[in-house]
Amino acid sequence: MRTPWRLRDYVFAAFMTIGMVIAVFIVGPFAPPGFQLLAWSPLAAIFLTLGMARLQRPGSIALIVLPLAVLLGLLSPLITLYLAVTVIVIEAVLYFLGSYRKRINRLIANVLFFASANLAGLLVLIYFSQGLISRIKDPKRADALTHVIQFINQPGTLILLTILAGVAGAVGWFLGELAIKQLQKAGKMDVDV
Amino acid sequence: MLTSKFAQPKPGLLSRINPLLKIGLCFLLIGFALALHRLEAIALLAGILLVLLVLSVRINLKVLGYAAIVLMLFVAFSSWLRDISTALTSALQLIAIVIPAPLLAGTTSPADLVRALQAIKLPRFMVLSLMLIWRFLPLIQQEAQRIIESNWLRGVNLARQPAHWFSGLFMPLIFRIVAYADDVTIGLETRGYDPTAPRSNSQPLKWRRTDSWFAAGAIGILALVGYIEWVA
């Protein structure tokens, strides 16, 4: 089968995936529980931006994220499915906008990816919390958790947290573009961006 | 090509087992662990997996300590939500769900993994990506650790100064990652590697007698765990 990708593209995409995974290890110990994804977003977005800038063609995000999705499938096939769906949606949107050569398209892809990841994570939390609350014996504790979930479950809160994740993705995009400039100055990014 | 001592599994029984069998068993164990609810059954499964992990995989003490702290926090939080028995059950269930993946990773060499992934007809780019992630993740993690230590030597504690994360940690790390990517590409190209070309295999995957014994043992243990959970 003929493919537009070259060996260097596959290797670069795999190393950007490694960068995204390393960001999890770096952020994990410092981020408060429940905010890991928000803390991870700007750092992971740096590698996603670098990958898009170097690979440029539609399908770049799929090359970077799908291996990660397969690896995380060892923890839960749900993660694989959800990441695969997110990638398909983003690639479909970017198919109409053009390649990742334009900065604005890289920004849109980052914002879309992290906002949708955060929203899906919150919806999964809300879904599974119903079962957890029903198993809590102490009514006071059940009430406390119910209030937290009710707070998250409000459309306003969901929208606010999703916007925050999108902003985190945008911050990561900005840092990623700074990194691209540094790499270009050092002669390590020989592509026109 | 650059290699890592972390990429080589500790020699032992599990490293000789058919990797496809291990991948299948990994999914089966995770599914089984999710279905269990009795403390005794989960304790047996988690105990066996822990023993196998300690015997078969080189474990970093720092990682072990961090995992123990996270687990204790998890038990404390679960006890607050319900009771100690449920908290222990949940913690053991978490162990049984989490251990199969590192057990598989720690006892499978990259070459065996590639053979297994090729055998299940994954797309070739996916096989290459997974192989690179498997082999280079520990190396890049080591690079990150070195950069963090270099910052310490210059009086920058990154844990307390997140403002320095980008310039002090991520920029040098990005340069290292890009350098690794270029080196690996050159290494693969000079060896004539083509991700789209069909590949030959000097050691195709085979089902050996030890695999049959291992599969029978695994089924026996799962049957015992299932008996404790649903019959006893």
Which of B24, B38, B36 is CA-nearest to residue B97? Answer: B36
pLDDT band at B6 (very low <50, low <70, confident <90, very high): very low
* 3 state SS of A176: helix
pLDDT band at B9 (very low <50, low <70, confident <90, very high): low
Residue A128, judged by CB atoms within 10 A of its CB (0-12, 13-18, 19+), counts as exposed
Prediction pTM value: 0.75
Q: What average pLDDT is seen over chain B?
A: 83
Lowest average pLDDT, out of A36-50, A134-148, B158-172, goes to A134-148
pLDDT band at B1 (very low <50, low <70, confident <90, very high): very low
Say what the pLDDT of residue B55 is: 84
User: Cβ of A43 and B26 within 8 Å?
Assistant: no
Say what the pLDDT of residue B106 is: 79
Say what the pLDDT of residue A45 is: 93
* Most confidently modeled range among A5-9, A81-85, A149-153: A5-9
CA distance B127 to chain A (A): 9
pLDDT tens-place string over residues A84-140: 888 888 888 888 888 888 899 999 999 999 888 888 777 877 777 777 677 666 677
Res. B51: pLDDT tops 80 = yes
pLDDT band at A33 (very low <50, low <70, confident <90, very high): low
pLDDT tens-place string over residues B89-119: 888 888 888 888 778 777 887 778 777 877 8
> Which residue is closest to B78 within chain A, CA to CA?
A136
Contacts with A140 from chain B: Cβ below 8 Å: none
User: Cβ of A11 and B179 within 8 Å?
Assistant: no
Res. B192: pLDDT tops 80 = yes
Say what the pLDDT of residue A48 is: 93
Please indicate whether residue B195 or residue A65 has the higher confidence score (pLDDT): A65
**Which long-range CB contacts under 8 A does B86-95 form with residues at least 24 apart?**
B86/A135, B88/B39, B89/B37, B89/B38, B89/B39, B89/B42, B92/B39, B92/B42, B92/B43, B92/B45, B92/B46, B93/B33, B93/B34, B93/B36, B93/B42, B93/B46, B95/B46, B95/B49, B95/B50, B95/B71
Specify whether the CB–CB gap between B173 and B144 falls below 8 A. yes
pLDDT tens-place string over residues B134-175: 888 888 988 998 998 898 888 888 777 878 888 888 999 999
Q: Which of B83, B126, B185 sits opposite A11 (nearest CB)?
A: B185
Q: Which residues contact B107 (CB under 8 A, 6 or more apart)?
A: B9, B10, B12, B14, B15, B17, B22, B56, B57
pLDDT band at B5 (very low <50, low <70, confident <90, very high): very low
Say what the pLDDT of residue B4 is: 46
Contacts with A1 from chain B: Cβ below 8 Å: 196
pLDDT band at B36 (very low <50, low <70, confident <90, very high): confident
pLDDT band at A157 (very low <50, low <70, confident <90, very high): confident
Res. A11: pLDDT tops 90 = yes
B3: left (phi over 0), alpha (psi -120 to 50) or beta: beta
Contacts with B194 from chain A: Cβ below 8 Å: 7
- Mean pLDDT, residues A53-81 taken together: 82
Please indicate whether residue A79 or residue A155 has the higher confidence score (pLDDT): A155
Contacts with B162 from chain A: Cβ below 8 Å: 30
Q: Which of A25, A67, A182 sits opposite B171 (nearest CB)?
A: A182
- CA distances in angstroms from B38 to A43, A63, A103, B82, listed in the order given: 41, 42, 54, 16
When scoring A9, A11, A47 by the number of chain B Cβ atoms within 10 A, the one with the most, hence best to mutate, is: A11
CB-based contact, B184 to chain A, within 8 Å: yes
pLDDT band at A47 (very low <50, low <70, confident <90, very high): very high
Contacts with A179 from chain B: Cβ below 8 Å: 170-171, 174
User: Cβ of B195 and A67 within 8 Å?
Assistant: no
Q: What average pLDDT is seen over chain A?
A: 83
CB-based contact, B71 to chain A, within 8 Å: no
